[in-house]
Structure 1
Amino acid sequence: MTDPLLAVEDLRVAYPGRGFRSPDTEILHGVSLDITAGETVGLVGESGSGKTTLGRALLGLAPVTGGRILFKGEDITHADKAARRRLTRDIQVVFQDPYTSMNPNLTIEQTLTEPLRANGTSKRDALDKVATMLDAVHLPTDSLGRYPNEFSGGQRQRIAIARALTLDPSLIVCDEPVSALDLSNQRRVLDLFIEIQERTGVAYLFVSHDLAVIRHLSHRVAVLFQGDIVEWGDCDQVTARPEHPYTQRLLMAAPLPHPVKQTKHRADRQRVLAAQREAELQSGA
């Protein structure tokens, strides 16, 4: 079996308590998963489940208190600033709100060439690379002289994807990248992620609260609930025939476009919830 590109082993993240002598608050309680080259692993769960915390830990932005993060076989759990700078060539991120991650005073050209220039690329080569990236995300090259506020939300997200791709990374952490978009733009951006992956072989950790989004582009899926992975496996199995009650609730919560099917879907969800509540009451008796 091929060694994973990324391996997360028994990862724990805890934040210090806010008050004097307050205990630390542990957000992740020993999370393990792996991602192979060219694969999309979907990470799904409700708000507060720890999804974003896991993504931040991979980027060195959250306090890891236990476990390991291995990237290409190297332990990067507590990588220093110099090592993290080197890792930006291989690990990039696309955030939920691309506008807040861009400097409104910089043109798109400046935004996209900045990481290349910081890594020693000449201005001419950087412009050539940026033009290629804009074409890859289906934006015209005349976008370069414009500012972020001149683009729609979907276009800004494409620019954020182009910026993440400029250094030819092996892995992109995608933190709710379509949740702020309308449905038509969501579909376009998701299809763009798939298209880019097929062309470049980049791997994604795709974080979302929406099981339908996860199902659209993931190969494997991890379901996170209150800091623990409660279900992990092949996308078709997890999103169509889930075994854990929490995943079943997530699946039942996803709306269906057909009104009659949605009515039955809602009734089925109520039956599942009632059965689970009854089982919990009996187990606590």
Structure 2
Amino acid sequence: MNQPLLDIQDVTVEYPGRGGLRAKPFRALHSVSLDVQRGECVGLVGESGSGKTTLGRSVLGLAPVTTGKVLFRGQDIAHADRGRRRELAADIQVVFQDPYTSLNPALTIEQILAEPLTVRKVPRAEAQKRIRDLFEMVRLPADSGTRLPREFSGGQRQRVAIARALALKPALIVCDEPVSALDLSTQARVLELFKDIQEQTQVAYLFVSHDLEVVRHISHRVAVMYRGEIVEFGDGDQVTGRPNHPYTQKLFFAAPIADPDAQAQRRKERRQLLAAQNA
């Protein structure tokens, strides 16, 4: 296998404990290792407090890495300074959970998409063509540029956020619960959009979610986090369909299913698994 695009090696993240100098530090991540190949989607799933968002933030330089390495294209960026982080912004982007709070409400959509291109001093004609291409890529009307974020639905705003993340043609996008604020039908459409964009551009995703069903639909490989550690990591179909770790099994059986027959089958599988474990 080729050198990973992103290679997280034994990363530990600790925060100062509460209660003074003698307070025990809080360890959010415990020696976590994970890699993402070029053009791959790795799903990172776990309940609230599992450490999955902290891991994504450590890649973005938003969570301080206590020990370990975060290698991007073979170079350790765990402790990159501001200048290096500005350089990395062209290659590593992020899509947050709530697009409205991440979009400047005073700017038009065209101005929002033009901002990173302007910072990188992309010639005006090239930038305008890039913006038109981005509208097409995320399936927004060509006349969207003159409108403000508040004039769009939640799903449309997330498409704008995805377009902004794609503006500089990054190699990696950290997706931090990007569909959890959307209704189920809109979730499905946005997930399909993520998949189509990856096929077109070969961008890699570190896709953070609390929902095993969401990561199942989009991920090539899936890592399951529990109490700051990765407890299961492997092929997406294997991890989400035939999980080995008890915590992953808990997530699997807790995931909602619309089909009543599938629900009944899953309850049967759970009873069989519990019987086998207790035998």
Q: TM-score, normalised by structure 1?
A: 0.93
Give the match for residue 283 of structure 1: none
TM-aligned CA deviation for residue 36 of structure 1: 0.6
| Runs of at least 4 residues off by over 6 Å | 273-276
Indicate yes or no: 2:60 matched with 1:53.
no
Give the match for residue 63 of structure 2: 62
Give the match for residue 2 of structure 2: 2
Name the CA distance, whole Å, in 2 between partners of 1:184 and 1:135: 21
Give the match for residue 193 of structure 1: 194
Name the CA distance, whole Å, in 2 between partners of 1:101 and 1:267: 43
TM-aligned CA deviation for residue 230 of structure 1: 0.3
TM-aligned CA deviation for residue 110 of structure 1: 1.0
Give the match for residue 17 of structure 1: 17
Give the match for residue 217 of structure 1: 218
Name the CA distance, whole Å, in 1 between partners of 2:202 and 2:50: 29
Give the match for residue 173 of structure 1: 174
Counterparts of 1:122-271 in structure 2 under 5 Å? 122-266=123-267, 268-269=269-270
Name the CA distance, whole Å, in 2 between partners of 1:273 and 1:120: 60
TM-aligned CA deviation for residue 152 of structure 1: 0.3
Indicate yes or no: 2:63 matched with 1:98.
no
Name the CA distance, whole Å, in 1 between partners of 2:276 and 2:16: 38
Q: TM-score, normalised by structure 2?
A: 0.95
Indicate yes or no: 2:90 matched with 1:72.
no
Could you give the per-residue CA deviations for residues 127-160 of structure 1, whole angstroms, max 9, x where no partner exists?
2211110110011121101100000000000000
Structure 2 residue ranges without an equivalent (≥5): none
TM-aligned CA deviation for residue 272 of structure 1: 5.0
Name the CA distance, whole Å, in 1 between partners of 2:265 and 2:202: 40
Counterparts of 1:100-115 in structure 2 under 5 Å? 100-115=101-116
Which amino acid counterpart does residue 207 of structure 1 have in structure 2? V
Structure 1 residue ranges without an equivalent (≥5): 280-285
Which amino acid counterpart does residue 160 of structure 1 have in structure 2? A
Name the CA distance, whole Å, in 1 between partners of 2:114 and 2:61: 23
Identity of matched residues, %: 63
Contact 1:249-1:269 at 8 Å conserved across structures:
no
